[in-house]
């Protein structure tokens, strides 16, 4: 049975549990459109932990946003040796604890650069979007600085305290060139990891945002979340089958061999293939124009155009022609 979304459209509310290392979907569970995000999540997180351990992973780490910080399950995961970092709602009692922190508890949060600049430093180009916002006097919120601190906190549903890392954001609110007011906002993360620094916990939690890219690829790449059928169960079956196309991309990347003197280059190609969007993967490794020639006892595949991923394709071809090692 379908249910109505907030936008007034018929739809579902599927749950997706994925492996961060390779972005493979471990579980896709279709649910009615009016179900809360966290419903059934703990059960499938437990299944994912068991699945990873069966596959040979020695350490398992759970990440999720505030919808998945189900505090009644934290003690069980902690007892089971599972590390976790979840966003947690900014409740009034947490703000009270933040207000009680001494000034020396805060350190400035320095985020690493998104990428390494390979060329000489160039002049920053004009921010066209920013200039339009100012010219048309739209309300604009600018980040002025971030600070990080931590404290211990015991959720009501737990019998022990956990580490809570808080990010304090200083914001400036403007309209055009007029300064309206300064604002602040806090983000909270609860974890049982006491080895990483507070900043490292924040960066680890923010890596969860890769899940949004995976969801986008499931929707628009392999189209596994389009729900073309007319029942909840049949659409769940479709979702699982269609998502296998994305998993095959990950498995292909993992199978690409890495050789001796080219190890660094091959490793970088492997990583790029693993993180490649599906449309690019399809053009690079699937939709390859070729002429098939049958000559005597031979079958010749003659590629009709050059492809920058050609060498990777042939290394994968050779690897697949060999017996798979399990």
- Rounded-to-5 percentages of helix, strand, coil across the chain: 40, 25, 35
- Residue 109: pLDDT over 90: yes
User: Domain for residue 24, yes or no?
Assistant: no
What span, in angstroms and rounded, lies between the C-alpha atoms of 68 and 106?
A: 27
- Residue 130: pLDDT over 90: no
pLDDT confidence of residue 3 = 39
Average pLDDT over residues 137-149: 90
Domain that holds residue 272: 256-320
- Out of 44-58, 128-142, 191-205, 218-232, least confident range: 128-142
Kindly list the distances between the CA atom of residue 53 and the CA atoms of 118, 120, 191, in Å, as whole numbers in the listed order: 39, 46, 21
* Cα dihedral 277→6→189→93 (10° resolution): 170
pLDDT level of residue 140 (50, 70, 90 thresholds): confident
Query: To the nearest whole percent, how much of the chain has pLDDT over 70?
Result: 94
User: Domain for residue 278, yes or no?
Assistant: yes
pLDDT (tens digit per residue) in 4-23: 345 556 678 899 999 999 99
User: Domain for residue 297, yes or no?
Assistant: yes
User: Domain for residue 123, yes or no?
Assistant: no
Average pLDDT over residues 31-41: 87
Number of domains comprising the chain: 1
pLDDT (tens digit per residue) in 244-284: 999 999 999 999 999 888 999 999 999 999 999 999 999 99
User: Domain for residue 296, yes or no?
Assistant: yes
pLDDT confidence of residue 128 = 82
Query: To the nearest whole percent, how much of the chain has pLDDT over 90?
Result: 61
User: Domain for residue 191, yes or no?
Assistant: no
pLDDT confidence of residue 63 = 93
pLDDT confidence of residue 115 = 67
User: Domain for residue 310, yes or no?
Assistant: yes
pLDDT confidence of residue 117 = 65
pLDDT confidence of residue 7 = 57
pLDDT confidence of residue 325 = 66
Helix, strand or coil, per DSSP, at residue 272:
helix
Structural contact between residues 224 and 189, judged by C-beta atoms closer than 8 angstroms: no
pLDDT confidence of residue 1 = 33
User: Domain for residue 315, yes or no?
Assistant: yes
Instruction: Single out the residue of 266, 245, 241 nearest to residue 256, CA to CA.
Output: 266
pLDDT (tens digit per residue) in 299-308: 888 889 888 9
State pTM to two decimals: 0.85
DSSP class of residue 195?
Answer: S
| CB neighbourhood size of 270 (10 A) | 19
What span, in angstroms and rounded, lies between the C-alpha atoms of 242 and 245?
A: 6
3-state secondary structure string, 205-264? HHHHHHHHHHHHHHHHCCCCCCCCCCCHHHHHHHHHHHHHHHHHHHHHHHHCCCCHHHHH
Instruction: Single out the residue of 116, 181, 195 nearest to residue 150, CA to CA.
Output: 195
Kindly list the distances between the CA atom of residue 266 and the CA atoms of 163, 164, 307, 309, 312, in Å, as whole numbers in the listed order: 40, 40, 16, 11, 8
| Mean pLDDT across the chain | 89
């Amino acid at each position: 049975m379908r249910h109505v979304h907030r936008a007034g459209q018929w739809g579902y509310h599927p749950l997706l549990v994925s492996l961060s290392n390779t972005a493979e979907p471990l579980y896709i569970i279709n649910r009615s459109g009016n179900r809360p995000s966290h419903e059934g999540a703990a059960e499938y997180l437990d299944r994912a932990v068991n699945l990873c351990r069966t596959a040979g992973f020695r350490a398992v780490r759970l990440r999720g946003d505030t919808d998945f910080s189900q505090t009644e399950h934290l003690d069980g995961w902690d007892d089971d040796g599972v590390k976790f970092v979840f966003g947690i709602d900014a409740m009034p009692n947490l703000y009270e604890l933040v207000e009680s922190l001494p000034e020396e508890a805060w350190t400035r949060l320095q985020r690493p650069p998104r990428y390494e600049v390979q060329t000489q430093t160039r002049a920053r180009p004009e921010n066209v979007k920013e200039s339009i916002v100012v010219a048309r006097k739209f309300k604009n919120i600018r980040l002025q600085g971030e600070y990080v601190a931590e404290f211990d906190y015991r959720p009501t549903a737990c019998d022990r305290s956990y580490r809570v890392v808080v990010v304090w954001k200083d914001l400036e609110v403007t309209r055009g060139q007029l300064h309206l007011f300064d604002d602040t906002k806090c983000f909270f993360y609860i974890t049982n990891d006491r080895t990483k620094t507070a900043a490292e916990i924040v960066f680890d939690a923010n890596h969860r945002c890769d899940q949004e890219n995976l969801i986008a690829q499931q929707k628009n790449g392999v189209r596994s979340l389009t729900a073309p059928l007319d029942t909840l169960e049949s659409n769940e079956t479709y979702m699982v089958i269609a998502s296998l196309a994305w998993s095959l991309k990950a498995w292909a990347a993992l199978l690409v061999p890495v050789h001796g003197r080219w190890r660094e280059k091959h490793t970088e190609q492997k990583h790029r293939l693993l993180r490649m969007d599906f449309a690019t993967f399809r053009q690079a490794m699937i939709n390859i124009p070729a002429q098939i020639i049958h000559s005597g006892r031979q079958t010749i595949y003659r590629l009709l155009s050059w492809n920058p991923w050609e060498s990777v394709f042939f290394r994968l071809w050779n690897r697949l022609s060999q017996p798979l090692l399990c």
